[in-house]
A and B are shown apart, each in its own frame.
Chain A
Amino acid sequence: MSGPQSIDRRRMLGRTAGFAGTLLLGGCDKLSRSAWFTRMLDSAESANRHVQAAITPRGTHAREYTEADLSPHFKSNGTHDPSDPDYRALARNRFADWRLELGGLVDRPMRLSLAELQALPAVTQITRHDCVEGWSCIGKWTGVPLRTVLAPLGVQTRACYVMFFCYDTVAGANEKYYESIDLAEAQHPQTILAYAMNDRTLPVPYGAPLRLRLGRQLGYKMAKYLRRIELVESFGQIEGGHGGFYEDNGYEWYAGI
């Protein structure tokens, strides 16, 4: 999860409104506050998403690296150590009581313990993690492909998105972290639920006990501290309605760029 320095859009708007700088800056910041202009800027997101999807050959994989490429220091971003009481209680018990809830538009909802997840066929991938801020780290991730976990649930045909609800709350936020991806991304072999990093049990700063890993999108999509996975038809009514915590704060839902 890669975070910006300023996420409180409304507070920032107020600050911007008070201090228009030069004529150009003042003009542009004013434009940034108008609805039609931000809608126009937002149109680039769907252009990026559709054009990138159109020019991407089917079944492309993010490059996998070697042990020699591993980052000596992998930066942890977003929440490093959730202070949420329910998470603290689980962490004290080394996540023995933790269960991953799987539900929503599925025929057979489930609850899986860490041991049950670890008993499923595992994959290990050395991939790059790109933060929206601009830096990249390379880590080795071990976990279960999401599609393996979804298969026995009986995903209903109405389902379009996979929601990930988390235990952590980013400092200063009033909603818990959450994220979403579409079903195509959920079926990708590099979309995994990771419980180990660099051959060790996933440490708390990186999302213990379980986090999402995607091969082709930015870090903020890769929800840490997973609590519940839910299949939905649309996320318009969930939390801020943009499909994720950072999305509710102005970041793109499509984080492939």
Chain B
Amino acid sequence: MIYRHTLLIRLTHWINLVCLVVLLMSGLAIFNGWPALYWGVRTQFNQPLLALYAIQDESGQQVGITDALGHRFVTTGWLGLSPGVDGRPTVRGFPAWATLPGPLWLALARRWHFFFAWIFVINGLVYAAYALFRRHLWRDLTPSRQQLRQIGRSAWDHVRLRFPKGDEARHYNVLQKLSYLVVVFGMGPLIVATGLTMSPWIDAAYPRLLDIFGGRQSARTIHFVTAFAFVAFVVIHVLMVLLSGPWNNLRSMITGRYRIEEPITESRVGE
């Protein structure tokens, strides 16, 4: 057993999880206020990159439609048209089970989103300060030169679902380190900055943001895409936890203790 995660890392990890869930669901509820995405400084209503809506088909039946990059899909029950909180088919972007609050209620969705955005940012700043000043960033997250050279082997090990054992398991592997770095210091700041670019007040104070992201509507689109990049990260993260010893991983993020498995040398003999 080694002591893997300090109390501060464990706390910020779980606070972050709550924030991500609430921000995603309230974000989808805000998106439902105008369920379409565009590129540029203004909304070109006839040129959406993504649009969720409902139409009547030939038989007069309402169907949910998703337009994505010029392709049209029928997505009744999921996107564009889905059961509302009262169970009846409702014209809405994302379905009620994915949004917070469940009903189409933009004002309340904004309250949830902006409150938890503060928690997310403060939590992230505490973590980042810790990572910098307590050397967590250099010691645990920055890949060594040797690790970077063996990135191909590490990727192949992941594909074969072989996870490090023994001494190697004392540290994050290179793909883990790189993905944590991208999420914490790339996607995190990106989703906050694009969120702020949607604020007309912030745009007036810091117009550079508009130039960086190509306008308020582009910023909204990047914000949306980054949110789903977080979803993709969480899915892979949880998958890896499940495949590489769920109880050991979960315990280490709750109590801090992580069991190092000794490599089983016999299995390698046959290779």
Hey, which bits of chain A sit against chain B, CB under 8 A?
4-6, 9, 12, 15-16, 18-19, 21-22, 25, 28-29, 32, 38, 40-45, 47-48, 52, 55-57, 60-63, 65, 69, 71, 73, 75, 128, 130-138, 215-218, 246, 249-252, 256-257
Contact = CB atoms under 8 A, between A and B. Distances in A.
B106 interface: yes
Interface of B: 22, 30-31, 33-34, 36, 38, 41-43, 45, 85-87, 96-97, 100-108, 110-112, 114-115, 117-118, 198-205, 207, 210, 216-217, 220
A136 B34 contact: no
Given A38-B111, A52-B202, A215-B204, A136 B216 contact: yes
Contacts, number: 154
A220 to B, nearest CB: 10
Contacts of A21: 85, 96-97, 102
A19 B87 contact: yes
Contact of A134 (B30, B102, B108): B30
Given A21-B85, A138-B42, 19 more contacts: A4-B106, A5-B104, A15-B85, A28-B100, A28-B112, A44-B117, A56-B201, A56-B205, A60-B205, A63-B207, A65-B41, A71-B42, A128-B41, A133-B106, A134-B31, A136-B217, A217-B201, A250-B107, A252-B110
Nearest to A218: B200
5 closest A-B pairs by beta carbon, nearest first, are: A256-B201, A250-B107, A134-B34, A133-B34, A135-B43
A257 B199 contact: yes
A25 B105 CA distance: 14
Nearest to A22: B97
Interface hub of A12, A47, A75 (most chain B Cβ within 10 A): A12
A85 B106 CA distance: 31
